[in-house]
Amino acid sequence: MNATERRATWSLAGLFAMRMLGLFMILPVFAIYGQSLVGSTPALLGLAIGAYGLTQALLQVPFGFLSDRIGRKPVIYLGLMLFGLGSVVAALSHTIEGVIVGRFLQGAGAIASAVMALLADSTRDEQR
């Protein structure tokens, strides 16, 4: 790998790792934290936990097509903005419904397909 490919690989790996932290970091403590939220029930806590993964899974293919149409970086930036907005909404919410909305917004920032495509675009065929 040359220096440009190495830099792109590490940058995109870091970006992808931060997104995965958004999915998994909250899981060990969310059930305990969620009990203190207004309107919390076990079913709503489960929905709040699963909302991120569900929306991300549903939007991977559409975001992949969008990245083919308008470019990888704009889709990645859009996804990061949605993820950031969802993080703020979830963090500032005092109700389980607000957290669910925030987690759906976080998941809507589904950028894995665009990150993988940009990584493929940034490396030579023999390095993939």
Asked whether the beta carbons of 113 and 61 are under 8 A apart, the reply is: yes
- Taking the whole predicted model, whether its pTM rises above 0.85 is answered as no
Tens-binned pLDDT, residue by residue, of the chain (128 aa)? 778 778 877 887 887 787 777 677 888 888 888 889 999 999 999 999 999 889 988 998 898 899 889 998 899 889 889 988 998 999 999 999 999 999 999 988 877 777 777 777 766 666 55
Q: Would you kindly state where each structural domain of the chain is located, as residue ranges?
A: 3-127
